């Protein structure tokens, strides 16, 4: 089965000034997006989504990863993923293509990451907000790299489409000063290596 790809887009954002002062090292945020036809649109309830997941996940993951790395190269520090399914699909359709390792591991392996990919999945009409949460690819507790890419595509998703996206950062959010998560855990009497106490 072939992916019906309508468009791919790359968003590049550099922040030079934030909070009334210049950013010494401008933060680079990159989003790579693919607008595809929902492979389950019009099929009613489909119990087994795995054939399409396995067919489309690796190809989409590689394509979006390549788009990200064309901009960041090996400087990438933070990463995440997101999807929006059009109003004619199920939220599960968006989740099926983003939460599978067939998709996400293309990105994770390419950047030699140690953490999971932060994510959002929503359903919406054309122009719906796409929010891609980011965190450090090697340290899930590194607060300086908790960031969000917020964008939209004016004419997508159509009711029979899904927007799939990967996001990345070079640098942390500007003027990071919210403290160190590990210091907080120690101060609160928790083990920084086992914050849930399990």
Counting as low any pLDDT under 70, the low residues of the chain are: 195-198
Please give the distance of CA 153 from its chain centroid, rounded to a whole number: 15
CA 161 – CA 37 distance, rounded (Å):
4
End-to-end CA distance of the chain: 44
Q: Are 102 and 58 in contact (CB under 8 A)?
A: yes
CA distances from 189 to 74, 105, 176, 182 (A): 37, 35, 24, 11
For residue 192, what pLDDT is reported? 80
Dihedral of CA atoms 145, 132, 50, 62 in degrees, nearest 10, equals -70
Q: Which two tokens stand for residue 85?
A: 């399914």
For residue 196, what pLDDT is reported? 63
Q: Which two tokens stand for residue 48?
A: 């087994």
């Amino acid at each position: 089965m072939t992916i019906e790809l309508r468009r791919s887009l790359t968003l590049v954002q550099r922040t030079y000034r934030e909070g009334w002062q210049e950013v010494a090292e401008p933060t680079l945020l990159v989003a790579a997006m693919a607008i595809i036809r929902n492979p389950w649109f019009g099929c009613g309830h489909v119990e087994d989504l795995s054939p399409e997941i396995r067919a489309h996940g690796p190809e989409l993951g590689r394509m979006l990863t390549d788009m990200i790395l064309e901009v960041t190269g090996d400087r990438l520090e933070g990463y995440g993923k997101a999807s929006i399914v059009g109003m004619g699909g199920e939220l599960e359709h968006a989740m099926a293509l983003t939460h599978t390792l067939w998709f996400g591991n293309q990105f994770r392996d390419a950047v030699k990451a140690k953490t999971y990919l932060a994510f959002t999945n929503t359903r919406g009409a054309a122009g719906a907000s796409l929010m891609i949460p980011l965190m450090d690819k090697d340290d899930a507790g590194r607060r300086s790299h908790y960031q969000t890419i917020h964008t939209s595509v004016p004419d997508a998703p159509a009711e029979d489409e899904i927007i799939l996206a990967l996001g990345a950062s070079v640098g942390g959010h500007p003027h990071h000063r919210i403290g160190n998560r590990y210091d907080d855990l120690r101060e609160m009497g928790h083990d920084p290596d086992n914050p849930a106490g399990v």
